[in-house]
């Protein structure tokens, strides 16, 4: 299976929604504590190595990336200097970034593009806020301030263009409707920091949360007093969780225990796959929308892996 070495520590990896052979990777020097960053655009070749088709250097670490859902050449990056940067792959590197949105007062930890309306994106920051942006405006459309601590993750609902979720170090996940003045729901989901959240792609009322408490919980927002599933199997904090675009009950997660796990939350033995190919914290994971079962991960070992579920990521 193909592997790519980055000069800095990996933080996030995302498959392109337009091309099955392109991925974006966010990296940060010195484990994201101090130093530069780089955004890599990588290309998968059939039965061959991963090649780099573009790289963008930044003065601060890059913690997350997402692809535009409207323009196949646009990538958005979350930066350690509090900015959100917009890159256009169709332009030379010297012309990039084409825009830098600077409003957050601390590190931007996550970005997510609206898959329904395809005209806006969210940024989540350690300044305890989430901001809503459109590509063509220099100023944010709105700032969502309710969390009492860092917001680590934000995710648009896959069916409702105005609804999103945010996960925070204040141990809550909040559901928001951009048409409403405040959050519409507060899930006290874990007793420890929540590092990630994602919506089910087939049921717009189902959301998963991942926490420092080593667990993933699956919730139905119509009755959120008790989770519908609790997934235990990671040995340390769960850094990211992503629902499958192809199977309603499947999801993938990565953890500080250096593993990537595949789950089916509807069956009793929910852990259906474990991959231990990373040798440092596994902090970024994604599933391809275009190729069923294709996974990508990155971590602090400065490696990016792409593999088919059921295969060994390290196999040649």
Res 66 pLDDT > 90: yes
Res 238 pLDDT > 80: yes
Q: Which residues does residue 107 pair with via DSSP β-bridges, in sequence order?
A: none
Nearest to 190 by CA among 223, 222, 237, 155: 237
Share of the chain above pLDDT 90, in %: 96
Domains and CATH numbers, the chain: 1-306 (2.130.10.10)
- What is the token pair recorded at 189? 């989901």
Average pLDDT score over residue span 230-259: 98
Res 34 pLDDT > 90: no
**Res 13: pLDDT:** 98
- Tell me: the pLDDT tens digits for 263-297? 999 999 999 999 999 999 999 999 999 999 999 99
- What is the token pair recorded at 298? 């990155």
Asked if residues 300 and 281 have their Cβ atoms less than 8 Å apart, the reply is yes
**Res 316: pLDDT:** 81
Res 199 pLDDT > 80: yes
Integer Cα distance of 143 and 28 in angstroms: 26
Average pLDDT score over residue span 179-193: 97
In the numeric block, the tokens 């991942």 are attached to: 210
- DSSP letter at 240 equals E
Res 1 pLDDT > 80: no
Nearest to 154 by CA among 207, 214, 232: 207
**Res 254: pLDDT:** 98
Nearest to 155 by CA among 93, 187, 212, 198: 198
- DSSP letter at 1 equals -
Asked if residues 287 and 245 have their Cβ atoms less than 8 Å apart, the reply is yes
- What is the token pair recorded at 196? 């990630």
Average pLDDT score over residue span 71-92: 98
Nearest to 70 by CA among 116, 132, 140, 119: 119
**Res 211: pLDDT:** 98
Local structure of 258: helix, strand or coil: coil
- What is the band of 46 on the pLDDT scale with cuts at 50, 70, 90? confident
In the numeric block, the tokens 């049921």 are attached to: 203
- What is the band of 94 on the pLDDT scale with cuts at 50, 70, 90? very high
Nearest to 62 by CA among 18, 27, 34, 95: 27
Asked if residues 56 and 39 have their Cβ atoms less than 8 Å apart, the reply is yes
Rounded to 5 degrees, φ, ψ at 242 are -140, 130
In the numeric block, the tokens 């648009």 are attached to: 156
The sheet with strand 151-156 has its strands ordered as 151-156, 163-168, 173-177, 185-187
Residues in the chain: 316
Neighbours of 225 (CB within 10 A): 8
- What is the token pair recorded at 94? 């010297």
Integer Cα distance of 260 and 219 in angstroms: 21
- What is the token pair recorded at 217? 């919980």
**Res 132: pLDDT:** 98
**Res 218: pLDDT:** 98
Integer Cα distance of 211 and 187 in angstroms: 13
In the numeric block, the tokens 């999103």 are attached to: 164
């Amino acid at each position: 299976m193909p592997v790519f070495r980055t000069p800095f520590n990996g933080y996030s990896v995302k498959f392109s929604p337009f091309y099955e052979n392109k991925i974006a990777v966010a990296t940060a020097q010195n484990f994201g504590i101090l130093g530069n960053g780089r955004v890599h655009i990588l290309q998968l070749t059939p039965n061959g190595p991963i090649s780099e088709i573009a790289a963008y250097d930044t003065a601060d670490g890059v913690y997350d990336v997402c692809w535009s859902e409207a323009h196949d050449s646009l990538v958005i990056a979350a930066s350690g200097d509090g900015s959100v940067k917009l890159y256009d792959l169709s332009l030379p590197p010297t012309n990039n970034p084409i825009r830098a949105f600077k409003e957050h007062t601390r590190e931007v930890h996550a970005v997510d593009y609206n898959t329904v309306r395809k005209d806006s994106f969210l940024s989540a920051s350690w300044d305890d806020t989430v901001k809503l942006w459109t590509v063509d405006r220099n100023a944010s459309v709105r700032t969502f301030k309710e969390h009492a601590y860092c917001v680590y993750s934000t995710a648009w609902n896959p069916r409702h263009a105005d609804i999103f979720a945010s996960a925070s170090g204040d141990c809550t996940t909040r559901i928001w409707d951009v048409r409403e003045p405040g959050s519409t729901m507060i899930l006290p989901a874990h007793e420890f920091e929540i590092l990630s959240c994602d919506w089910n792609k087939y049921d717009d009322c189902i959301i998963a949360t991942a926490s420092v408490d080593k667990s993933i919980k699956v919730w139905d927002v119509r009755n959120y007093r008790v989770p519908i599933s609790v997934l235990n199997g990671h040995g340390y904090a769960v850094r990211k969780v992503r629902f499958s675009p192809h199977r309603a009950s499947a999801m993938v997660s990565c953890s500080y225990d250096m593993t990537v796990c595949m789950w089916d939350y509807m069956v009793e033995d929910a852990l259906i796959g474990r991959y231990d190919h990373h040798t440092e914290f596994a902090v970024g994971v994604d599933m391809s929308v275009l190729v069923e079962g294709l996974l990508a991960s990155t971590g602090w070992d400065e490696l990016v892996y792409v593999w088919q579920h059921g295969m060994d990521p390290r196999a040649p």
